[in-house]
Structure 1
């Protein structure tokens, strides 16, 4: 990773290794915007136009910072994709062409993966993160998936134990559809998971039920001898 002077290093940040390009791009754009060099990622080199020396120097500064950030945020296995690129925009375009899911076939695969998703066990947050990641990838591919469809498919993926909350969301949507956003649904589902977990903990912590047995004395007579047994 880069040294602290470059400003490219983020604590606990995992370099891009070839998967999750959309998420990596989002982080990169936010970071470059904060560093004041996002423009280098989006526009052609300033030197191709008639510019002043000061403008060229500013462009060179932004481009160098953006290129440094991109390189430091790539795993060694991915560096070959950008090694011959001269500008930050060339680097980014090369990465996007290579790793971003694009085209009709990618949309079909992502749609199929989304429809097959079912929440069975584990942490709901992990499931939701994967679900939303696929939705974002679909939209990156040009799929115009409406929020209502995203929500409907998510509710379909929930198990029967979440039926009560899915029904309540459906009722609210019929009355106030503008209130039922993906963030709203996510929050309601997580609240339901939390409530279910608290119920399970409560059941495990309940003291065992005490059962009393009445023991009587049985008297047996054998050869005129009496024995008492508790």
Structure 2
């Protein structure tokens, strides 16, 4: 079930599938010109009062979008967040882990990508789906996986038939 905000369908995160949810939410926040505030925050000590007021308003809008995108069971985890960046970091750390955990998971995904091979009797489309799932997971963890690298991997991994 999803709710609408400014005619955009906001995906609801219920505690599972964080990687895909955060990709969708980032796209929504970019489309709303809010992602920069989520990613880097803003300077609360800004001397230009007009800019500070604009940043606070945009941050509140971004925080609202994030809060709308989480199920009631999850919203309590970000209830204390005063800014969109704080909420985003709390969710990321809880559902993806801190930097060390993410690096370990990313290493595992890299290894899995490098060693994946098409199996006898496997349909090409199923194999491509597996490869793209791994690539998308790597990208969700911040890895820049070039399309050329993916194509080369697929071509090397296909069976002769």
2:76 — aligned with what?
80
**Residues 1:64 and 1:58: Cα distance change in structure 2 (over 3 Å):** same
Closer, same or farther in 2 for the Cα pair 1:107/1:44, shift >3 Å?
Answer: closer
TM-score by length of 1: 0.53
Q: Quote the residue 2:135 is aligned against.
A: 135
1:25 is paired with a residue of what secondary structure?
A: helix
Structure 1 segment 1-230 matched on structure 2, within 5 A: 1-2=2-3, 4=4, 6-7=5-6, 9-10=8-9, 14-52=11-49, 54-100=50-96, 102-103=102-103, 105-114=104-113, 115-116=115-116, 118=118, 120-121=121-122, 124=125, 127-139=127-139, 141=141, 149-161=149-161
Aligned-pair distance for 1:51?
A: 2.8
Once residues 118 and 96 of structure 2 are traced to their aligned partners in structure 1, the CA distance between those partners, rounded to angstroms, is: 25
Q: Quick one: higher RCO (CA 8 Å, sep 6+), 1 or 2?
A: 2
CA displacement 1:49-98 (0-9 Å, x = unmatched): 3231x323222221121111111222344323312211100011112222
**Structure 2: segments with no counterpart, 5+ residues:** none
Q: Any idea what the Cα deviations from partners look like across 1:102-125, whole Å, max 9, x if unmatched?
A: 11x21332134332453644671x
RMSD of the alignment, in Å?
3.2
Q: How many matched pairs?
A: 154
TM-score (ref. length: structure 2) = 0.71
